[in-house]
Amino acid sequence: MTGVEPPARFGATRARVVDGDWADRVISPAYDAMSLSDRRAWVAAHPDSYLQVIRGADDVEAAELRPGQNHLDLDIAALGSLLERGAFGDEVEGMWIVRLALGEHRQLGVVGDVPVAWVASGQLLGHEQTWVGRAQSLVDHRRVVGAESSPVVLTHRADRRIAEVVNRLSAGTPVLHCELADGLEISLWPVPAGPDVQTLVRRISRKTVYITDGHHRVLSSSRHAAAEPDRPGVDRLLAAMFAEDQLNVEAFHRVLHQAPDDSIDRLRELGRIEAVADPVLPTRQGEFLVNHRGAWWSLGLDVGPDEIGPEILQNRILGPAFDIVDPTTDPRLAAVPGTEPIEEVARRTQESRGLGFVLRPVSVSQMMVEADKGRVLPPKSTYFVPKMRSGIFVRQI
């Protein structure tokens, strides 16, 4: 797509921004990084959290519903309450510079609207397998609640002109700055009308962009646009755009619950496996750190130059040796974010009498190459951190 002006362009979004006095109460934790019990506990303890608005059917306990209600009724009521009480400002149209800071990591990007048509045209590429049921639940939320808040996070190859605009505008005083309970700092700057907007629109609109977080949201937006093509705003998607050199990517480790007692013998048939006394993170793709019954092992497979860890794990280990056919829906399989220490993998493995796999992260450039080839990786192949959050923006549809 580089160098070709597309008919549909990246551009301004029309949205409300959270009020600074409400921000630390409203902006939610990362939904997908929380367990069901964690989400329920957070909602019970934080009545102003935007997590109240994006609860799925599983998040809502039956006792919370009156006869004839479903979870979407509660989502609508929660959003209405936040808007009525002034948690968000008036709708404004524009683009925003956003900075996420967590620990020593800082990343700067641009928030605006991406055309849903970019999915069909191949200008917006994903790399992970999606679950149809999850996507449909997001279609229902988008259609019934009529709002989206958590931007899809996209990346593109580094661009000097975009970086110059983003760095210059973020040198001023932000209109929003808050620090959340988990240490994430969020700052926003509006992009003033004029040459900077034109530069961002022109240069981003000519790029191929890649999903780093939000595969299901992209799929649900495409489905919603196809189902209600005449609905205003349905043909665009709220997105945060970060250059590849801004991102920090970790692995998603795996735990196979209730693993058989002969798991290590099965792995021995697939590759080289040795007991290790001092477990360390793998140094290459095709190498895994394995935990079973309280002991650590190293597993190495001979792999090709294009094979990467999550794909190797599914296609050459979990499928053949443990009959994991669909990693998206198999209840035996769980993911552990790479931000957790490897001891957490061991703890969860022992808790479920399971088999734990610690993976080497897939790099941003590897992810782009896989997407360019049209290859679909197993779900949760990458874990980009920090994450954009729900509750910073509300874009009503």
User: How many residues are given for the chain?
Assistant: 397
**Residue 264: other Cβ atoms inside 10 A:** 18
Residue 132: predicted pLDDT = 80
Residue 1: predicted pLDDT = 44
Per-residue pLDDT of the chain (397 residues; tens, 9 = 90+): 444 445 589 999 999 999 999 999 999 998 877 888 999 999 999 999 999 999 999 999 988 999 999 999 999 999 999 999 999 999 999 999 999 999 999 999 999 999 999 999 999 999 998 888 888 999 999 999 999 999 999 999 999 999 999 999 999 999 999 999 999 999 999 999 999 999 999 999 999 999 999 999 999 999 999 999 999 999 999 999 999 999 999 999 999 999 999 999 999 999 999 999 999 999 999 999 999 999 999 999 999 888 899 999 999 999 999 999 999 889 999 999 999 999 999 999 999 999 999 999 999 999 999 999 998 888 889 999 999 999 999 999 9
- β-strand partners of 100: 107, 186
Residues sharing a CB contact under 8 Å with residue 177, sequence separation 6 or more, in sequence order: 20, 185, 186, 187, 188
Distance CA 373, CA 208 (A): 13
Query: Which candidate, 22, 38, 385, places its Cα nearest to that of 184?
Result: 385
Residue 360: predicted pLDDT = 95
- β-strand partners of 267: none
- β-strand partners of 211: 154
Residue 34: predicted pLDDT = 84
Tokens 């796999």 map to which residue?
Answer: 357
Q: Are 178 and 24 in contact (CB under 8 A)?
A: yes
Q: Is 185 exposed, middle or buried (0-12, 13-18, 19+ CB in 10 A)?
A: middle
Distances 92 to 79, 105, 144, 156, 186 between C-alpha atoms, Å: 18, 30, 23, 26, 19
Residue boundaries of the structural domains of the chain: 13-249+385-394, 252-360
Sign of the Cα pseudo-torsion (26, 27, 32, 37, in order)? negative
CATH top class, domain 13-249+385-394: alpha beta
CA 373 from centre of chain: 21
Distance CA 210, CA 218 (A): 11
Q: Are 239 and 153 in contact (CB under 8 A)?
A: yes
Distance CA 156, CA 244 (A): 6
pTM over 0.85: yes
Query: Which candidate, 215, 97, 196, places its Cα nearest to that of 154?
Result: 215
Q: Are 60 and 44 in contact (CB under 8 A)?
A: no
Q: Are 186 and 271 in contact (CB under 8 A)?
A: no
Residue 7: predicted pLDDT = 56
Tokens of residue 282, six digits? 């793998």
CA 363 from centre of chain: 16
Residue 33: predicted pLDDT = 78
Query: Which candidate, 293, 278, 276, places its Cα nearest to that of 356?
Result: 293
Q: Is 24 exposed, middle or buried (0-12, 13-18, 19+ CB in 10 A)?
A: middle
